Amino acid sequence: MGVRVSEGEIARRRRRLEEELDGKGLTGVCLFAPHHIFYLSGFAFIATERPIALAWAFGRRPVLFVPLLEREHAGEARDVEVITYPEYPDERHPMERLADLLRDLGLDGKGIGVDSDGYGGGYGYRGPKLSEVLSAEVVLVAEVIGRMMAVKSPEEIELLRESSKWANLAHSLLQEHTAPGRTETEISARASLEASAAMFRALGPDYRPTRPGLPAQAGFRGQVGLRSAVPHVITTNARIKRGDVLVTGATADVGGYWAELERTMIVGKPTDDQRRCFELMLAAQDLVFAEIRPGRRCADVDRAVREFFAKEGIGKYWRHHTGHALGIRMHEAPFLDVGDDTVLKPGMVFSVEPGIYVPGFAGFRHSDTVVVTEDGNERLTCYPRALADLVIE
């Protein structure tokens, strides 16, 4: 299996987008979001104050518009022309230069699909909207691309399957290195480094991570002991001790795709209350596995979990929706939430992570990556889920 998206896959996406937008009277697109640019070109980059855009007049070769310092890096993109500008802000603003490029592509005065009316910025960026520097009708098409991204191709699913394997390894190392007296950062760093080194050895010289840092990651993200009851807490470098409930997370970058694996571990013999919360969380996750199938709505799945929580008298310990789509980004649309009526289709990929959070006591959450199939779903992550397998002696 390849470790990056193929040129054929990217060509398929471009054809599909052109077909989707043809009926909207658009003659091209200008995209700024890094995940959209990666989706249509394979170019992964760090977004800074320097604008980067994918300018594409349908029927012509797409153009990557990048600062000079990205020229060699942008050469790794698939089937694009690369055009550079000197620097930001420079004597002439990059957005004015981008407008010149779009005019050269014949898009001035035409309808252009965009994911935002200008560069989204960050890192102190300041600049005009695209509609302020170009006489064109800009039409938001982010939702169109989002719908395309929501249904994964067989190639994308295989990349997520491979990511799941390395997430499993990273988590097994995390569990192996977890022991009373060690700090959460010490354990996380060791597991992530060892798993990443194994990835580089096994996947060979063609393997390239798409983000800075280690490609395989496992850790606790601060959910240690009483703080395990806070779903998105930040690490304090807590020292592991007996009696702690630990909520973990692991993932791995394969071709720019990221599976999600999370587990709840308990240090020492579980108490009756810990055991009860763990088993209720596990039952809620099993319920979701039974609910996910084509034709069901995202809202239906989440509603079933909330009804289960209410029936068990633990509704007050609910904090978040049942799951979210994932792929190039760890969180994508649609969401397994009562507010999302999206109908499940084969090829959609979700996290399944109903959690229970008891303030002043502990939090309990497993997360698995699941793909919707023709007759149900398939779990891509396969790490042990039972309490007996997740107790740290």
Report residue 1's pLDDT band, with 50, 70 and 90 as the boundaries.
low
Output the 3-class SS for the chain. Answer: CCCCCCHHHHHHHHHHHHHHHHCCCCCEEEECCHHHHHHHHCCCCCCCCCCCEEEEECCCCCEEEEEHHHHHHHCCCCCCEEEEECCCCCCCCHHHHHHHHHHHCCCCCCEEEECCCCCCCCCCCCCCCHHHHCCCEEEECHHHHHHHHHECCHHHHHHHHHHHHHHHHHHHHHHHHCCCCCEHHHHHHHHHHHHHHHHHHHHCCCCCCCCCCCCEEEECCCCEHHHHHCCCCCCCCCECCCCCEEECEEEEEECCEECCEECEEEECCCCHHHHHHHHHHHHHHHHHHHHCCCCCEHHHHHHHHHHHHHHCCCHHHCCCCCEEECCCCCCEEEEECCCCCCECCCCEEEEECCCEEECCCEEECCEEEEEECCCCEEECCCCCCCHHHCEEC
Q: Which residue has the higher pLDDT, 173 or 2?
A: 173
pLDDT digits (tens, 9 = 90+) for 70-112: 999 999 999 999 999 999 999 999 999 999 999 999 999 999 9
Report residue 22's pLDDT band, with 50, 70 and 90 as the boundaries.
confident
* 7-149 and 151-392 agree in CATH topology: no
For 151-392, CATH gives 3.90.230.10
- Determine the pLDDT at residue 121: 83
**pTM for this prediction:** 0.96
Entry field: residues in the chain = 393
- Determine the pLDDT at residue 23: 84
Distance CA 356, CA 199 (A): 33
pLDDT at 356 over 90: yes
Mean pLDDT of the chain: 97
Q: Sheet harboring 264-267: ordered strands across?
A: 245-247, 264-267, 391-392
pLDDT digits (tens, 9 = 90+) for 226-244: 999 999 999 999 999 999 9
Distance CA 20, CA 141 (A): 10
pLDDT at 54 over 60: yes
Give the torsion through C-alpha atoms of 316, 317, 322, 324, to 10 deg.
110
Q: What homologous superfamily does CATH list for 7-149?
A: Creatinase/prolidase N-terminal domain (3.40.350.10)
Q: Exposed, middle or buried: residue 101 (CB in 10 Å: 0-12, 13-18, 19+)?
A: middle
pLDDT digits (tens, 9 = 90+) for 182-214: 999 999 999 999 999 999 999 999 899 999 999
Where are the domains positioned within the chain? 7-149, 151-392
Beta-ladder partners of 371: 349, 378
pLDDT at 174 over 80: yes
Beta-ladder partners of 57: 28
Distances (CA, A) of 83 to 53, 54, 59, 62, 154: 10, 10, 18, 11, 33
Instruction: Determine the average pLDDT of the residues in 259-272.
Output: 98
Beta-ladder partners of 140: 114
Give every CB contact of residue 158 below 8 A, 6+ residues apart in sequence.
1
Distance CA 107, CA 105 (A): 6
Distance CA 305, CA 281 (A): 10
Distance CA 74, CA 69 (A): 9
- Determine the pLDDT at residue 95: 98
